[in-house]
Amino acid sequence: MSSRGIVLLGAPGAGKGTQAVLLAEKLGVPHISTGDMLRAAVAAQSPVGLKAKAVMDAGQLVSDEIVIGIAEERLKADDAADGFILDGFPRTLGQAEALDRLLERIGLRIDCCLAITVDTEGIVKRLLKRAEIEGRADDNEATIRERMRVYAVETEPLLGYYAARSLVREVPGMDSVPEVSDAMVAALEAA
């Protein structure tokens, strides 16, 4: 498998986080999740966390400036030099363009964009189930539907952005977790 700079795209609850952990283990590269980093900042009540909390709870996107800053800091760490899996970043065209500029500056690149495809009602159910287990503040039905709307407007256009460079590989995301994981590895092998 030669594709080691990987972007995961998919609607909220598509399973990006779940699959990124498995793939990172298989490839031996770091899993970089802006969602996890933002939740850690909220828990630590850092300046970034204090700004991000209300935005995340409302199902909106945290500002590009904040997210690009935390992603940049993480991507510059030594362990990302041989590959990385970006989960939940980029989420806007502005973030995608900033990411390209950053990667060029630090001598890295994106080799593949894995797009997890799902059906909306199926993932609303998934996220409501996660709400029972994890109690995340943004996992209630109204916020989930708002996150889906924001995804369609802000993030879905990234499929075209990466398709223009022939980087997109679609992976069906409604099968079981191991089945989706196998399909991801197969998509990378074919990339």
14 binding ligand B4P? (CB under 6 A): yes
Q: Is 165 a catalytic residue?
A: no
What span, in angstroms and rounded, lies between the C-alpha atoms of 118 and 95? Answer: 23
Q: Is 16 a catalytic residue?
A: yes
Find all residues with CB under 8 Å of 28, minimum gap 6, and list them.
83
Please pick, among 4, 39, 53, 91, the residue that the annotation labels catalytic.
Answer: 91
Q: At what angle do helices 16-27 and 177-190 cross, to 10 degrees?
A: 60
51 binding ligand B4P? (CB under 6 A): no
Q: Is 126 a catalytic residue?
A: no
Contact 62, 127 (CB under 8 A): no
38 binding ligand B4P? (CB under 6 A): yes
CB under 6 A: which stretch of 23-31, 106-114, 156-164, 173-181 binds ligand B4P? 173-181
Residue with smaller CB distance to ligand B4P, 3 or 34: 34
Query: In this chain, which of 4, 5, 15, 167 binds ligand B4P, going by CB under 6 A?
Result: 15
155 binding ligand B4P? (CB under 6 A): no
- For residue 144, which of 56, 73, 49 has the smallest C-alpha distance? 56
177 binding ligand B4P? (CB under 6 A): yes
**Site residues for ligand B4P per CB under 6 A:** 10, 12-18, 34-35, 38, 55-56, 59, 61-62, 67, 88-89, 91, 95, 126, 130, 138, 147, 176-177, 180
Write out the catalytic residue numbers. Answer: 16, 91, 130, 136, 147
